[in-house]
Structure 1
Amino acid sequence: METEHGGRTGADAATEAFVAHRNLLFTVAYELLGSAADAEDVLQETWLRWSGVDLAEVRDRRAYLVRITTRQALTRLRTLGRRKESYVGPWLPEPLLTAPDVAEDVELADSLSMAMLLVLETLAPTERAVFVLREVFAVEYEEIAEAVGKSQAAVRQIAHRARAHVAARRPRSAAEPSRHTSEPGE
């Protein structure tokens, strides 16, 4: 849609920016939540917030969209955490569908394995967000600090702590089969 001066309307520019970064936003939400349905819900919430933003005030649209998505995902993660307290089974991330219409999303979201998602589940929501944004997407500390509402120093400390937690939970080597078998009489 063109204005009388030949430029795009604000709504068109907002839509164009959102569509341009949608796969990244979906992947951020999925990596934090482990659920395609929850990631799509977060994208809807992100779009609603984004559509009300004055684009003239936004310096970096990608960073702003990642910040909105991260905050929405953190809110949902905290809400889901409260719901899971009553669930007694193990948490497992939802598998992604591989239909052609979601093939690009699957390709991006497939960067973490099921095991890594299980490890990420052990992190606190903010640690998880910082770890995913820094380690998976190589987002700068300044941008992460804005996304999670913390200082850069705090984000660096959270990232360090999250890396240590993830490293502590990764299997270091395969156990020897002989150690798993017990001797008769033990």
Structure 2
Amino acid sequence: MATAQAHDDGTAVERRQLLNVAYRLLGSLAEAEDAVQEAYARWYALAPARREEILAPGAWLTTVTGRICLDVLGSARARRERYVGSWLPEPLPDGTEWGRTGGTDPADLMVLDESVTMAFLVVLEAMTPAERVALVLHDVFRYPFAEIAGILGRTPAACKQLAASGRRRLRTGRAPVAAAGQADAVRRVKEAWETRDIAALVDLLDPAAVMTADGGGLAQAVLRPVEGGARIAAYLMALAGAAPGPELLVRSVNGAPGLVARSGGTVLTVASFEVADGRVTRIWVVRNPEKLRSWAA
């Protein structure tokens, strides 16, 4: 039987799980950490006798974290209407790749899989908060609808319908799965950019490709998506012509091959890609420095 003492012993494991849930629900590592900290604050605010009565502290914490995330998602829509330019989820580095193994950075506790690819997270943004919670908790973390019902305040049957609606949005939004040739396509984009080969870049981009940038008003970025492979190539070539150019590196971004632009040891830009049939169909560029804190080497 789980007890409060057992919970204390397993805090690190539970915190990792809660962070993984919260990040997928919110698309922000900072907000996810705040949500988990708030859940623990509520746990320790309970009277000791009340904590002893809770047979499954992990389940209790998950329910509370889910409700906190639901509230955050409900208010996020209004906040993002005031956001400067496009809003994108916060990109995650590969902790081992950056030499941060077993550290205290929340990014080190994230499990990187297809449910954190930028393509997946961007489609999640189009869902209602309830759809997002039902889909992520059930399809990604395998929570039963009976438990999700306690978070959403709805019946298990209604939660099942919400998850089904979320799946339809995923199919319509073409998320996720990283293509087998993504690493090669990203490497070729890097080479074309570095050699200023606009013809090669145009050839690598799907004619209907779309690039979305997030500067948040804190870094220079296009405010609206750039549509069309030729227009994207021209925009990237204009950036390449700026001097001095940053160092461009192929790195794991949210578990998939991406590009990182670094200058003087500081990460300035993180780009994620969607590739189909060997050509880039979507590019997501994050330049908001507040979203790049976990990339500090």
Which TM-score band (shorter chain)?
0.7 to 0.9
Match of 1:138 among 134, 142, 145: 142
- After TM superposition, what 4+ stretches of structure 1 lie above 6 angstroms from structure 2? 178-181
Q: Tell me if the contact between 1:14 and 1:55 (Cα under 8 Å) persists in the aligned partners.
A: no
Cα separation, 2, equivalents of 1:49 and 1:125:
22
Q: Which string of whole-angstrom CA distances, capped at 9 and with x for unpartnered residues, describes residues 85-119 of structure 1?
A: 12252221112353331464133577420110000
1:84 has 2:80 as partner:
yes
Gap runs ≥5 in structure 1: 1-8, 182-186
Taking every aligned residue pair, what percent have the same amino acid on both sides? 38
1:96 has 2:92 as partner:
yes
Which residue of structure 2 lines up, in the alignment, with residue 5 of structure 1?
A: none
Paired letter, 2:27? G
SS in 2 for 1:138: coil
Q: For this pair of structures, how many residues does the alignment match?
A: 170
Aligned-residue offset at 1:35:
0.9
Paired letter, 2:120? M
Map 1:33-52 to 2 at 5 A: 33-52=26-45
User: Structure 1 residues 49, 110: closer, same or farther in 2, change over 3 A?
Assistant: farther
Q: Tell me if the contact between 1:18 and 1:65 (Cα under 8 Å) persists in the aligned partners.
A: no
SS in 2 for 1:40: helix
User: Structure 1 residues 141, 171: closer, same or farther in 2, change over 3 A?
Assistant: closer
Gap runs ≥5 in structure 2: 180-205, 209-227, 230-297
Q: Give TM-score scaled by structure 1 length.
A: 0.79
Alignment root-mean-square deviation, CA: 2.9
SS in 1 for 2:110: helix
Cα separation, 2, equivalents of 1:74 and 1:16:
28
Aligned-residue offset at 1:135:
1.0
Match of 1:125 among 120, 124, 129: 129
Cα separation, 1, equivalents of 2:172 and 2:53:
42
Q: Tell me if the contact between 1:14 and 1:51 (Cα under 8 Å) persists in the aligned partners.
A: no
User: Structure 1 residues 18, 52: closer, same or farther in 2, change over 3 A?
Assistant: farther
Q: Which string of whole-angstrom CA distances, capped at 9 and with x for unpartnered residues, describes residues 126-145 of structure 1?
A: 11111100111111111111
Structure with higher helix content? 1
SS in 2 for 1:95: coil
User: Structure 1 residues 22, 45: closer, same or farther in 2, change over 3 A?
Assistant: same
1:56 has 2:52 as partner:
yes
Map 1:1-186 to 2 at 5 A: 12-53=5-46, 54-97=50-93, 98=95, 99-100=100-101, 101=103, 102=105, 104-108=108-112, 111-170=115-174
Cα separation, 1, equivalents of 2:119 and 2:162:
21
Aligned-residue offset at 1:78:
1.7
SS in 1 for 2:88: coil
